[in-house]
Structure 1
């Protein structure tokens, strides 16, 4: 079940502050959620970073926008209180959202404010607080990053498919090393001979001491789905090496039978398809480089505590 956007939190937040008391947001969040009839499942949803629930994240941004419009004030650190304008807004009976807040000069200033008042925001920046936006600025940033990473994943997969089979086998070993297995390529991982691999494309130590080995199989397919027979053959190759653990990586996908088969055998075989492969490559910076870094600052409340 989807969660209401942050603008939906504005009216119930003002209503919960209508008694005029100065309170912490945490003290009234449950009342706001109750007003919105949020379910237990909705309240468990967390933003990608995992640091906050989506509900509290959106409640916080609703408060931020109401503060910028002058409907809520923050008389002291971490506390908030409704203003006369906020009380008047409730009495209108209208739904409070970004469109409603556009009537306040303070909010319009917030939408267009820059360090250099002579330079206007470009269209993309302004959209972060656009009246029609249903996501918070942080959610919009995360969505943009997801889009960029999805496009990059497609580019990475195409590059892998364009490479030679030998390159792909070495890439698989490099990926395992990047994930922390075995230490260095010299003493931990190796790709087997291309023509005489016996169903094994790579071997890597599970740890730096090499107490156990992990055997790798790499299939660079474009359209072919890896089926159960391929996994059975890999399991047989593991038997030849008296191995119990293996990783089968492909640029395509696995059939339902293949996925079910690995759950039936006593060996531990992990299947990694093309989508997971590119995600792991991006996560561990294999075949990609950082183009640009953006920092999102937050208030350091501890700094402002006076002895």
Structure 2
């Protein structure tokens, strides 16, 4: 059994120590938050699994359906929540992130809506984490964003817009869905290359092959789950392309505003390679 510790935040209801962690490498402090759902029917089963040494998984926090917050690993430690993953070219997401598991049965068990009080607790927890760590809005991500080939949580029902309205994460209003030409599996060429560059620029771990390969399709699905949840089909229509373009612009605008008082600070991102949808 892992030793008890003092919680990092006053909003923590109780501590359930997990032995499944090690030391962070690289960054002095985490600069990402990764949001998950537990994908299990009962919250106590999820907590038991996150404490099981044989499972070798954990998270820093668990947010219960009633809004209670359980801490399992100190923020200073490296919880084992992201698995094989990538964001902005970094494959050790566990070292640079804080993991939050949100109790929800997930797609395999009916995928119910997230209760309002649970989402309020997630927002409060993230905002508390921000007081201790410098985390840019675009680095509040879904598990599916960093592991699109393996994961789909917290899924298309998760209210990312509500979080962004409360200062957690980055959001733009999705472009309207219309009957437009679509990029899909088997396509290749400059438009696919532009799409891949834009996905890579935002952080997704795709390869610039100019081929609409499985990895590209999976990244598009993850993007749609997060930013265009009304239709998640892995096809890149005008709505998907325009939403991605708007998101890159919003990220650059936020970065420019934050750096206005820091003339020597590096510029965020590498520009916006995706042309506006016509």
TM-score, length-scaled by structure 1:
0.22
TM-score, length-scaled by structure 2:
0.23
Comparing both structures, which one devotes a greater share of its residues to helix? 1
Structure with more contact order per residue of length (Cα contacts < 8 Å, sep ≥ 6):
2
